[in-house]
Structure 1
């Protein structure tokens, strides 16, 4: 026999409650048939723990109960790495009796004991321990060990409540462990939102993946997960949600009637918008105030977003909100002059060029219109004026820096437009300003299947060679 006593537990579990006294009781049994056994209880951190009986005597084949106390109430458990433990020292007591001082002297003697000391690890359990581990930002050694021990003192409902905290805090390993031990992955918060919604709102990509793989479901009526992801500029979250859930709708609206594209437009998140558009997002949805995403982007002055939305929608520029205002009007109201050209002046300049309104063109250019802006077909004002044969408009545009060799979506330059429409005087002016018009280049850019083009090409061809 190498031990004199046997404990009724392999480790002592101490239910920690924040700000309250914590105790745990265990029993030791004397294994000797005829001899009493003296017992000494100590811990590695006596400032944290105390015993009701640090020294005691157990009669033959008898048992005795002991209580471990957390010395002072605390707001957090005194976790140490490695965890603390109770050392149980024993000695045979032939007379069966001894004073307390005698026991102290007995166990204070140096030297090797004949019988082995017993060691009982101390584990802190309960939800308050897990709450502390979740909230702790500093690294705690053996955190997973502490977590697994603490779970044994929690009910299923407590684990579910703790699961929400772990999700919001971004502790993916805690989320896994709590789900594995009974936390309800499909529990809802007070607003009916799923854990996925909480994780997305907090921007926790790893947690989102854990919840998806654990079977967390979403409810589109309450879980505006794509909206949450759009609000924090997280294309990665939108993509993983879109791939994982077939019922996620890119054009779903929140309580304000806004789609994820609306949300991204209001914050200026161009990449989110581009992704949404690439997988079927509609840039022309109107919210409850009849505002399109373009209205919101213009109101906030987000140039890149405005450009992106204009590429995707020709209608949105002219849409009126509930107050009858276009996106351009909102840009003016908020002083975003960098948007004027895109939202209005470019149209006005093209219109003036089409009807040869020289004064109108000059006014647009003074106000900030881009002389080389392109419409949905890639035409600049110079393309339009050249095609219409508006010689005065062409002069104004050239004098304000219009580029003569810009091509539209079909490869036409302003010179092509002038030649095809038969406006020789305009063609000569463009060539004088450097328009490249040799026959080889024209053949390379424009299909020569127009009778009108063939007729007028002969007029310009000699001039092209003279220029060269």
Structure 2
């Protein structure tokens, strides 16, 4: 971490940590010309606030792509972490700015930073940015990254009912039955009462009978004669088709990110589409 205060006193150090600098404010507000002038006049782009937020965090969180470019060109630390452990890439994903995400990745931002909190993929799923999720998957994001509060990215996408993100994760090979305190994505789908989400998860092999730490199955969180309850009842009474069981078995054999392998199979196109959930 850079130290550029003229004074080495404790008072100087407190000021260094606590104040948002003009660089922070310009980056936050997208003031490109002001930011450029500050940099040209020698302002440090890696000064941090008391909560370890850098100007690059500010610009990324607000999707200020041009400011992100200026800061990186001036030597901003691309994987700096704030007090919560978030990197600028996490913040760009939280903002849903695909352009900021692309710029940060092109400057070497780690798609899987060594965090114990939400990863960039978690943040993209929380925001519901399918474009960011797709890009992160393409560059190797860990589909099973685990946050102690949220669980996996799939848990987050289901809890927020972002079905397009859920399908991207599942098609990339995310574990549909990954557990957080024994709670699966299907438990989340039941809690948010989303029958479309339940159907998608079951089609990808979701376990109807998984029990959470309270001993409850997903259906136990669905009440009355709601569409969600009817969906669970249908799947509990109706075995999966043989074709569906074969699809699940083949996809499990291909492991994570199976789509490229499936596309190379020497089989009719309609079978490839079926295996790819097209």
TM over 0.5: yes
Task: Write the mapping of 1:139-178 to structure 2, written as runs, cut at 5 A.
Answer: 144-151=32-39, 152-158=41-47, 161-178=54-71
* Distance in structure 2 (CA, Å) of the matches to 1:192 and 1:135: 19
How has the CA–CA distance of structure 1 residues 287 and 257 changed in structure 2, closer, same or farther, with 3 Å as cutoff?
farther
Counterpart residue number, 2:240: 376
Structure whose alpha-carbon radius of gyration is higher: 1
**Superposed CA offset, 1:122-154 (max 9, x none):** xxxx942x44433447xxxxx644332221141
**Superposed CA offset, 1:299-343 (max 9, x none):** 1101110010111116x11111222211111102xx562122221
1:317 aligns with 2:244: no
Q: Which has the higher contact order (CA 8 A, sep 6+)?
A: 2
Residues matched between the structures, number: 218
Question: Are the aligned partners of 2:154 and 2:174 in contact in 1 as well (CA < 8 Å)?
Answer: yes
How has the CA–CA distance of structure 1 residues 237 and 336 changed in structure 2, closer, same or farther, with 3 Å as cutoff?
farther
Taking structure 1 as the reference length, the TM-score comes to 0.43
**Superposed CA offset, 1:254-278 (max 9, x none):** 1136211111111222211111111
How has the CA–CA distance of structure 1 residues 255 and 185 changed in structure 2, closer, same or farther, with 3 Å as cutoff?
same
* Distance in structure 2 (CA, Å) of the matches to 1:198 and 1:336: 41
Question: Are the aligned partners of 1:127 and 1:154 in contact in 2 as well (CA < 8 Å)?
Answer: no
* Distance in structure 2 (CA, Å) of the matches to 1:257 and 1:319: 18
1:326 aligns with 2:217: yes
| Deviation, structure 1 residue 345 | 5.0
Taking structure 2 as the reference length, the TM-score comes to 0.70
Pick from 202, 206, 229 the counterpart of residue 340 of structure 1: 229
Q: CA RMSD in A?
A: 2.6
* Distance in structure 2 (CA, Å) of the matches to 1:186 and 1:235: 23
Pick from 123, 131, 135 the counterpart of residue 236 of structure 1: 131
SS in 1 for 2:54: helix
1:179 aligns with 2:72: yes
Pick from 167, 177, 192 the counterpart of residue 85 of structure 2: 192
Question: Are the aligned partners of 1:262 and 1:296 in contact in 2 as well (CA < 8 Å)?
Answer: yes
1:221 aligns with 2:115: yes
* Distance in structure 2 (CA, Å) of the matches to 1:154 and 1:220: 29
* Distance in structure 1 (CA, Å) of the matches to 2:225 and 2:124: 27
Pick from 247, 256, 259 the counterpart of residue 152 of structure 2: 259
**Superposed CA offset, 1:400-434 (max 9, x none):** xxxxxxxx98xxxxxxxxxxxxxxxxxxxxxxxxx
Task: Write the mapping of 1:47-446 to structure 2, written as runs, cut at 5 A.
Answer: 127-128=21-22, 130-136=23-29, 144-151=32-39, 152-158=41-47, 161-217=54-110, 218-222=112-116, 223-244=118-139, 246=140, 248-256=141-149, 258-288=151-181, 290-313=182-205, 316-332=207-223, 335=224, 337-344=226-233, 347-348=236-237, 375-377=239-241
Unaligned 5+ segments in structure 2 are: 1-19, 245-278
